[in-house]
A and B are shown apart, each in its own frame.
Chain A
Amino acid sequence: MHWTTIIYCGILTYMTRFSMIFFLKRDILNEKTKKVLSYVPSAIFPAIIFPPIFLNATGSIDIDSNPKLLAAIFAIIVGYFSRSIIVTILAGLASYWFLIFVYYQ
């Protein structure tokens, strides 16, 4: 990792925040574009979530006896009902630790 990479990332991130406030006088983005942009988290976060859960150390898909997968499913269920970010993370982490330190030992 280089400082220049970080600085470029910082500048571009800043521009995503600044550009619209600076350039738009009125609401130029139409409803369709806004609707599509509202899907951005749903479109990007799973790409970060899925691979480390489904792929094992050798890079092949692992569905049997996969503690991360089970813990993630448990976290989804807890998140669905609790609607709390922190409770979801803790539920996933606690069940993951239970699986790797107790169940699979």
Chain B
Amino acid sequence: MNNRLKTLSNGIIDVSPLMIPVVPFGIIYGVIGMELGLSAYMTFGMSIIIFGGASQIVLLQLFSGGASSLVAITSVTAVNSRHLLYGAVFSEYLSHLRLTWKIILSYVLIDQAFAVSNIYFKKNKENEFKHYHLLGAGFTCWTIWQISTILGIVLGSVVPEELGLSFTISLTFLALLINDFRKFKNVIVMLVSGIVATIGYNAIPFQAYIIVAALSALLVATIITLIDQKKK
């Protein structure tokens, strides 16, 4: 098989298991968008324009709390600031590519695609078509996310509100942290963030509690990192 096609299909195959939780996540997003009274176009448009599950749900939650645009935009950017790390890690593998490739690949550089392509890149540094792996993984995520958003939009008009599906927002984010529950330092950072947000929810104006809580927790994370480095 052509090396490009082979790498592309490797990307698709590698990322597929990670799509299992993405489907219900996308459905939840679509359902909640409809429950909060957004139009179907807007709910779907967010999936195309932003293409980031966590930040889209944050945007919905802030929207329902009456946050201003500025707070919404800042919070979404804060949630997505982790992508800076992905880009920084991948720049080593992608910096030689043409601008067009960088523009396309950046659009699909999300958590799941980063996770599998990072493993592949480390093992296949010699493959000159290795970026096809990210292309395959990324656009698989994209396709699955759009389809499950549409499913959620359709279901959202029939799912009764009594089921309390908005609770799945908390559950989904909680589930995304399961790998960090075992790390004591991460748990400290989580508690700082959660406690500041809960106390600040009413005390901090303009629904800026997510930003304030995240910055406080990152400050603690920075202190932990600095202490760790001194020990070494």
Contact = CB atoms under 8 A, between A and B. Distances in A.
A29 B181 CA distance: 26
Interface stretch (B43-51, B121-129, B145-153): B43-51
Contacts, number: 276
B170 interface: yes
Secondary structure type dominating chain A contacts: helix
Nearest to A92: B171
A47 B209 contact: yes
Interface hub of B59, B171, B201 (most chain A Cβ within 10 A) = B171
Contacts of A80: 178, 181-182
A89 B24 contact: yes
Which of the four size classes fits the interface of chain A?
Answer: 35 or more
Interface residues of B, number: 94
Contact of A13 (B77, B90, B94, B198): B77
B174 A88 contact: yes
Interface string A23-54: 11111110010111111111111111111111
Contacts of A89: 21, 24, 168, 171-172, 175
B164 interface: yes
Interface of A: 1-10, 12-14, 16-29, 32, 34-55, 59, 61, 68, 71-72, 75-76, 79-80, 82-86, 88-89, 92-93, 96-97, 100
Top 5 closest pairs, chain A to chain B, by CB: A20-B87, A46-B194, A43-B217, A10-B49, A50-B194
